[in-house]
Amino acid sequence: MTQLPFLRLFLPRQIPLFSPARSFFHTTAALKAAQASKKNQLTMATVNTKTGKVVDRTVLDSMLRRRLFYTPSFEIYGGVSGLYDYGPPGTALLNNIVDLWRKHFVLEEDMLEVDCTMLTPHEILKTSGHVDKFADWMCKDPKTGEIFRADHLVEEVLEARLKGDKEARGQKVVVDEEKEAKKKRKAKDAKAVKLDDALVKEYEEILAQIDNFDGPQLEQIIAKYDIRNPTTDGNLLPPVAFNLMFQTSIGPSSNMPGYLRPETAQGQFLNFQKLLEFNQQSMPFASASIGKSFRNEISPRAGLLRVREFLMAEIEHYVDPEGGKKHHRFEEVKDIEMSFLNRNVQLSGSTKTEKMTIGKAVETGMVDNETLGYFIARIQLFLLKLGVDPNKLRFRQHMANEMAHYAADCWDAELLTSYGWIECVGCADRSAYDLTVHKNKTGAPLVVREPRAEPLKVEEWQVDLDKKKFGPRFKKDGKAVAAAVEALSQELREKLAIDLEKNGKIEVDVEGVGSGKVELDQDIVKIEKRTRVENVREYTPNVIEPSFGIGRILYSMIEHVYWAREEDEARGVLSFPPVIAPTKVLIVPLSTHASFRPLLQQLMTKLRRMGISNRVDDSSASIGKRYARNDELGTPFGITVDFQSVKDNTFTLRDRDTTKQVRASEDEILQAIRSLVDGEKTWEDIRKDLPEFTGQEVD
């Protein structure tokens, strides 16, 4: 995962992995304005359901827990923040999303799916840069032992002061209630203290770019504005980097330190050579992986959106860096329209999205290349299949100072939720960075070699050593000297050729041999310009990486499909598309009457044989209550078994979203369900095909 997409919540929050040095005092005014406006917009995000009601997160969350979509892990032991278990409907939803992902990406595009270990030895993550740079800054209170994430702390304290200022000025304060509730438990209430206008401006500017600061900058801010432990008012130690990887050791001797992987990507890169071979040396191709990754967050607090153990699905698409990164299926997607929030718009201080086809976006150069564009379009298609609201989806381009230094371009699919715009998929051009560092470290040829159509002729300076004389002369140092000569650059060779011509000898730097300089006479060395013919082209592929945070997608999508009926505001409805709904069919007998039982069994068995998940609810609750319960579980269809069914084997089929019913024979009902679940037909089609049923009251 290049851009570390899963670490941003309210703002484009940034983790300093490979991030270029950021200049605190040189941020442009435009950028500040853009970030400030975004910030203001997001912390107050109110989002509406399809009926126009505001999404009440507290109500939704309580419903999701009550229906066991998810639950804090180890709750009977008090729980651990940032760790959640998925209950039966959550797990089924997760599995169905993964299944759809696999069909939409892996199967559709012949990707090479791999399953690599989570345990990863130190050396690999040292090479990839994670050991040194995959960190957040934290401050410790030396007295209480409390630990704060430095940027969160600055944010919290300055926001509290600004709030106090507004109160002192008699202005209305807009409050994020959940955030407030959490603060109240620990922090002293902000005092209503009026601040200097200049200071207010400074605070606002800091908050607007809170994600841009590194440790020393945060330290400066904490000192300058006297930021302390909000609870005790105690002084804090300067920020130190805290690596976000979970460490362990592999094997019994404790001498092999390892980590739980922070992304699935590295395992894929390490197998590049074998995957290329498996693909019969054919380029381009993609590998893919679905699995858990881990981040030891300092103080995770946003439900399923910021967790320490999470399911990722990542694609590494390997492409020739030459030839403009074309994609042979781009034609199929080029007319798809999407909402873009490009870099320049953000820099101009706006967050206004622009509708455009992906074809146009690539043509104008806004999106760097066809391959990147192809995946952006495919990501949108995937998200829409899941039930994401197209009006709450945008693709936001990373700004220059947000991108890792090796990236050519990066776009995030963001979904609008009550937490603001949430980055759910990152789509980055990761260039040749990873394959190069692993190749350099191990010497493994993580490259593509392909025959050239036309042999390439290279004019170059070549150095010959007279082996016979060379060996006896340098003895044990021979190897080092030869290697140093071999490593000479073309520029140096050219210069040395002139020296040799002129002086009859040259001097070469050889570390660790003699004085570090070695003299070579013209009887032992020869330097000539010659033509070399290359029949094979060797290159390190670039990587386009679509990276999906499945848990974030799941949660954000739930907010999109969630609503409540006007006649029953207390109960929610989750309008999952049938393909991902945890259970497809609810079977409800009119009552617990024994004559219904064989029919229930028969329906269950037949549906199962069709591979359609179903559940019987034969509890004594009213039919209406039983349906309402299953609306909250997002079950799209319901079959009611009544006394008529016993007589003539006909059943009613209910649609979750409209609550309309049709009635038909068992065969017709089952066929209708199959075509609805397969996506071949919509409920509107079924209503045309089968007679409506209005007789039985859903009480």
Site for a copy of itself in 262-281 (CB under 8 A): 267, 270-271, 273-275, 277-278, 280
Output 328-331 pairs: Cβ under 8 A, ≥24 positions apart: 329/374, 330/359, 330/362, 330/370, 330/371, 330/373, 330/374
Identify the residue among 260, 500, 518, 690 touching a copy of itself (CB under 8 A).
260
Scan residues 134-153 and list those touching a copy of itself (CB under 8 A): 138, 145, 147
Of the two residues 71 and 650, which places its CB atom closer to a copy of itself in the complex? 71
Contacting residues for 453 by C-beta, under 8 A, at least 6 apart: none
Scan residues 306-345 and list those touching a copy of itself (CB under 8 A): 308-309
Of the two residues 51 and 117, which places its CB atom closer to a copy of itself in the complex? 117
Stretch that binds a copy of itself, among 80-88, 405-413, 501-509, 562-570 (CB under 8 A): 80-88
Report the alpha-carbon distance of residue 470 to residue 531 in Å, rounded: 25
DSSP 586: E
Of the two residues 170 and 251, which places its CB atom closer to a copy of itself in the complex? 251
| Interaction between residue 92 and a copy of itself (CB under 8 A) | yes
DSSP 330: H
Report the alpha-carbon distance of residue 27 to residue 455 in Å, rounded: 49
Of the two residues 328 and 452, which places its CB atom closer to a copy of itself in the complex? 328
Question: In angstroms, what is the minimal distance from the CB of 434 to a copy of itself?
Answer: 13
Q: Which of 240, 318, 244 is nearest to 274 (CA)?
A: 318
Question: In angstroms, what is the minimal distance from the CB of 363 to a copy of itself?
Answer: 26
Identify the residue among 444, 456, 458, 487 touching a copy of itself (CB under 8 A).
444
Q: Which of 166, 154, 165 is nearest to 206 (CA)?
A: 154
Question: In angstroms, what is the minimal distance from the CB of 214 to a copy of itself?
Answer: 18
Question: In angstroms, what is the minimal distance from the CB of 265 to a copy of itself?
Answer: 13
Contacting residues for 233 by C-beta, under 8 A, at least 6 apart: 188
Identify the residue among 15, 94, 154, 488 touching a copy of itself (CB under 8 A).
94
Question: In angstroms, what is the minimal distance from the CB of 62 to a copy of itself?
Answer: 14
Stretch that binds a copy of itself, among 175-183, 249-257, 463-471, 569-577 (CB under 8 A): 249-257
Report the alpha-carbon distance of residue 254 to residue 256 in Å, rounded: 6
Per-position b or e across 539-555, b if 16+ CB within 10 A of its CB: ebbbbbbbbbbbbbbbb
Question: In angstroms, what is the minimal distance from the CB of 627 to a copy of itself?
Answer: 15
Of the two residues 465 and 543, which places its CB atom closer to a copy of itself in the complex? 543
Report the alpha-carbon distance of residue 478 to residue 484 in Å, rounded: 10
Pairing of β 393-397 and β 505-509: unpaired
Beta strand extents in 623-666 (DSSP E only): 637-641, 650-655, 661-665
Phi, psi of 194 (to 5 degrees): -80, 140
Task: Tell me the number of residues near a copy of itself by CB under 8 A.
Answer: 78
Identify the residue among 28, 48, 85, 405 touching a copy of itself (CB under 8 A).
85
| Upstream peptide bond of 284 is cis (omega within 30 degrees of 0) | yes
| Interaction between residue 594 and a copy of itself (CB under 8 A) | no
Scan residues 521-560 and list those touching a copy of itself (CB under 8 A): none
Identify the residue among 26, 29, 185, 251 touching a copy of itself (CB under 8 A).
251
Identify the residue among 8, 438, 654, 656 touching a copy of itself (CB under 8 A).
438
Residue listed under structure tokens 């070549």: 462
Identify the residue among 41, 50, 54, 83 touching a copy of itself (CB under 8 A).
83
Of the two residues 203 and 576, which places its CB atom closer to a copy of itself in the complex? 576
Scan residues 628-687 and list those touching a copy of itself (CB under 8 A): none
Question: In angstroms, what is the minimal distance from the CB of 508 to a copy of itself?
Answer: 31
Question: In angstroms, what is the minimal distance from the CB of 273 to a copy of itself?
Answer: 7
Stretch that binds a copy of itself, among 160-168, 213-221, 293-301, 322-330 (CB under 8 A): 293-301
Scan residues 50-79 and list those touching a copy of itself (CB under 8 A): 67-68, 71, 73-77
Stretch that binds a copy of itself, among 183-191, 294-302, 369-377, 490-498 (CB under 8 A): 294-302
Report the alpha-carbon distance of residue 250 to residue 120 in Å, rounded: 9
| Interaction between residue 346 and a copy of itself (CB under 8 A) | no
Of the two residues 441 and 532, which places its CB atom closer to a copy of itself in the complex? 441
Q: Which of 210, 279, 239, 256 is nearest to 136 (CA)?
A: 239
Identify the residue among 170, 233, 611, 694 touching a copy of itself (CB under 8 A).
611
Q: Exposure of 250 by Cβ count < 10 A (0-12 exposed, 13-18 middle, 19+ buried)?
A: middle
Question: In angstroms, what is the minimal distance from the CB of 528 to a copy of itself?
Answer: 36
Q: How far is CA 341 from CA 209, 345, 406, in A?
A: 19, 7, 22
Of the two residues 117 and 602, which places its CB atom closer to a copy of itself in the complex? 117
Scan residues 98-127 and list those touching a copy of itself (CB under 8 A): 102-103, 107-108, 110, 112-121, 123-124
DSSP 391: G
Report the alpha-carbon distance of residue 631 to residue 360 in Å, rounded: 41
| Interaction between residue 451 and a copy of itself (CB under 8 A) | no
Report the alpha-carbon distance of residue 443 to residue 489 in Å, rounded: 20
Q: Exposure of 113 by Cβ count < 10 A (0-12 exposed, 13-18 middle, 19+ buried)?
A: middle
| Interaction between residue 90 and a copy of itself (CB under 8 A) | yes
